């Protein structure tokens, strides 16, 4: 039988025991603010990969990779607790991923190629033409 605490009894001091280590299951990397079609085309390539998301919040643009830390133990505890990196030490369990998903509060959040492609189409009038332009340029370069 699974021993679970009723939702009303979950507090900041015991919630990690109920969590599947959501905070250790992804990484983020800040991105230069994308402005050009080329920059968005690169993001399109990245988000085409499974588990790679792109988001923008009040601090800027980020790449998010869903990947569990290799030091997570089967019981979802840290296997290198005494020598875990500073960023892990700075993470607070007071208001964390257990309380709200990462995409909560984001201005933009793209999980798929199609989502970002649709956004780019609204942002750039000539978005769909960029591929024709590139291919035409390739033909010329090969001459
Ligand atoms: S800090 Fe939050 S997200 Fe991380 S294990 Fe604890 S409850 Fe889960
Ligand atoms: S080092 Fe430990 S605390 Fe940091 S992400 Fe990995 S399992 Fe989590």
pLDDT for 14 equals 86
pLDDT for residue 34 = 98
Q: Which residues of the chain have pLDDT under 50?
A: 1-3
Residue ranges of domains in the chain: 7-142
Under 8 Å between Cβ of 67 and 27 = yes
Whether residue 15 has its Cβ less than 6 Å from ligand 1 = yes
Predicted pLDDT of residue 103: 92
pLDDT at 2: 40
Atom 8 of ligand 2 has which residue's CA nearest to it? 24
User: What is the number of the ligand 2 atom nearest to the C-alpha of 69?
Assistant: 6
Nearest ligand, CA of residue 71?
A: 2
Pick from 20, 31, 22: nearest CA to 91: 22
- Going from the Cα of 116 to the center of ligand 2, the distance in angstroms, rounded, reads 30
Q: What pLDDT, on the 0 to 100 scale, is given for residue 10?
A: 76
Whole-angstrom distance, CA of residue 143 vs CA of residue 125: 29
Please give the pLDDT value at position 7. 66
pLDDT for the residue 3: 47
């Amino acid at each position: 039988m699974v021993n679970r605490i009723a939702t009303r009894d979950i507090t900041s001091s015991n919630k990690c025991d109920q969590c599947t280590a959501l905070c250790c299951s992804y990484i983020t990397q800040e991105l230069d603010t994308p402005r050009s079609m080329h920059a968005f085309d690169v993001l399109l390539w990245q988000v085409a990969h499974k588990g790679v998301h792109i988001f923008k919040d009040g601090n800027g643009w980020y790449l998010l990779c869903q990947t569990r830390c290799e030091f997570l133990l089967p019981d979802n505890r840290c296997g290198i607790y005494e020598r875990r990196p500073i960023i892990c030490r700075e993470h607070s369990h007071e208001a964390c991923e257990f309380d709200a998903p990462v995409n909560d509060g984001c201005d933009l959040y793209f999980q798929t190629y199609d989502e970002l492609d649709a956004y780019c189409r609204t942002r750039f009038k000539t978005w769909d033409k960029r591929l024709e332009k590139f291919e035409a340029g390739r033909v010329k370069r090969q001459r």
